[in-house]
Structure 1
């Protein structure tokens, strides 16, 4: 079946025969968001960003303004990072939100629009744009660049008076991973952004530990997706040395699949089936890559709200608690909330507090209020 995105010239990769500024808008068009309540004007964007290793690369996303706002201009900007949608195919959030198919996280985006915030949703490196895939799933620094450069692009949109707009970031699961990486990278990568705070749920803080945990089980397709996504992000390293011939063929097939197809096709399949060893995450080169992808090594300079479900069968709650402890040790203004429910249940149950936290962060510029003592873990 032909990918509709491949037939849409808007998403074709532009030739970067110059070095654009990070966040520079390369292409934009007005779109409708028929399945999104609370949205007003919207634009699909192709903008310049950087790979994890600083090479220029185009990325796509969507920007949606609210129908009404209680704020004097400029309206705050929320960069909303969706959970993993897939490695390829017609599953990029910017395409779903402007198409006939439903974006699974429409409800969370609507809640933010109802607050009067402008919402920007990045597709991430390699997703949406044709010829640049597969999506660089689990590559934290790449995700951070896509997030921060989309915020830059929103501030530069000529239709909006947003050049001085404050920003927040929110995400869940892999989206939460992108959010905390954006918080960690912002002081160095995008210091001019007025980032006020971040909310992140079920953060994949340690991809190596997660891949080992889910290998051969119901979520095994995500482990394969991580191998593919990180392999794409680290193409300057010989990361494919662990693959068998069958592994190379499998990757070519999987790199175009969305999340649902990955989970069905590779359910209960161990990575060792396609690798030279049964535990590829322990290969020395891959141990280096995965160690480079752990969160909590750099202190965000803005408040961070973390939340997790105690019954999360995909991302262990201990991983979230560990990140909370790391941030607290680094002196980050960090809060923590546990919910006695599942991975999917926590995405819903934690949304109201996440939005409330972000709203409170918008009331203060970083550094203008004394940092409270870190709270003790709480369970609801």
Structure 2
């Protein structure tokens, strides 16, 4: 989020694997009986959530993943051994774009190869900001990528590419717009469940949501949508672990604008939305360009829709609150484990504080915020610790790992 050096989670999956291996996962959780299991959502044949296709991509053995994690680039500690071979499948499904128009999207389903009939919990993994289509989950199916590493430790991992990537490349990615972001995640979950039923892939009806940076935002957007709509998957959801996301978009942009103001002092007081809206479009466009420079690299090949930024520069704070921020107007009924670094200059720590406080004030009783303790506390610095944290929190509740 807001950096030309966007988080490359594939560069640090080592600690993810280490934490998963060390955690062991859910051994003390009692097994659910059929009567305890929540019902599945209905199969969608047409419209958002409809499964369009599924195609096998590759199978990687636990040894393959272990070897990749131990490569010089991954910097993995000795002794980390994934537990399962993993088969991955690219699925396409129907969701909606920023205008509510149906569009074909894609994503990756990574399945741990367990004994026949043995179920697994489902993990919705939402990826961080990237500006390159080749880095979308269904396009980058490599042994050291988080979806495959997580699956090798026992989760069925469902990873949406998001609109604008994969099958929907060329469509503008609705960046930090709550409704289409949530839809891409939820519709992928529904389509992936349909695919699992078709292919006899057993899950235990436990669902977890996790992601870092934009993935944290997408996690909270989807969680809120499940909660507010009463979607059938709400009963499956056990916990969400959003890391370093810009949940409060106004707070995030206020902090980012302050950074631009310091970087370009010549603009001074002009860099203020309340003042900018009275100026000509030329000045607003220059400020917009400066803000985008903080976000989009020159070699990116994905088109980003920046409605939130245009509204911010027009000082339309009500619209940002209503359509972009994801922390207001709801009280989650399952644990939300927020994680953030106080020294994060990409997504401000105050965005996590604002989310924690708003959710608690709305009546949520299981919302916590854990600080990154990694030296420097920066956005990228904290990614490995986030994964250790997320796997620990999910592992306390997950069964059948």
Once the two structures are superposed, the pairs formed by residues 9-20 of structure 1 within 5 Å of their partners are 20=46
When residues 56 and 302 of structure 1 are mapped into structure 2, their CA distance, relative to the original with a 3 A threshold, is farther
Residues 1:23 and 2:49 aligned together = yes
**Conserved 8 A contact 2:107-2:161:** yes
Describe the superposition over 1:33-80 as per-residue Cα deviations: whole angstroms up to 9, x where unpaired. Answer: 6685555211111111234664422211011112447x9633111110
Aligned length: 300
**Conserved 8 A contact 1:20-1:56:** no
**Conserved 8 A contact 2:136-2:161:** yes
When residues 72 and 159 of structure 1 are mapped into structure 2, their CA distance, relative to the original with a 3 A threshold, is closer
Residues 1:317 and 2:349 aligned together = yes
Distance 2:119 2:100 in 1: 30
Residues 1:209 and 2:251 aligned together = yes
SS at match of 2:157: strand
**Farther-moved stretch of structure 1 (337-346 vs 28-37):** 28-37
Relative to the length of structure 2, the TM-score reads 0.64
- Counterpart of 1:192? 232
SS at match of 1:204: coil
Once the two structures are superposed, the pairs formed by residues 50-65 of structure 1 within 5 Å of their partners are 50-51=96-97, 54-65=100-111
Describe the superposition over 1:132-178 as per-residue Cα deviations: whole angstroms up to 9, x where unpaired. Answer: 42211111221211111111122111224347632111001110001
Structure 1 unaligned segments of length 5 or more: list them: 1-17, 221-241, 264-270, 272-277, 365-380
When residues 131 and 61 of structure 1 are mapped into structure 2, their CA distance, relative to the original with a 3 A threshold, is closer
Compute the displacement of 1:184 (Å).
0.8
Distance 1:114 1:123 in 2: 20
When residues 207 and 33 of structure 1 are mapped into structure 2, their CA distance, relative to the original with a 3 A threshold, is farther
Structure with max Cα Rg: 2
- Counterpart of 1:122? 160
SS at match of 2:388: helix
**Conserved 8 A contact 1:155-1:164:** no
Relative to the length of structure 1, the TM-score reads 0.68
Larger RCO: Structure 1 or Structure 2 (Cα < 8 Å, ≥ 6 residues apart)? Answer: 2
- Aligned-residue CA RMSD (Å): 3.8
When residues 279 and 186 of structure 1 are mapped into structure 2, their CA distance, relative to the original with a 3 A threshold, is closer
When residues 294 and 339 of structure 1 are mapped into structure 2, their CA distance, relative to the original with a 3 A threshold, is same
SS at match of 2:384: helix
When residues 33 and 19 of structure 1 are mapped into structure 2, their CA distance, relative to the original with a 3 A threshold, is closer
Describe the superposition over 1:249-277 as per-residue Cα deviations: whole angstroms up to 9, x where unpaired. Answer: x99xx9xxx954469xxxxxxx9xxxxxx
Residues 1:351 and 2:377 aligned together = no
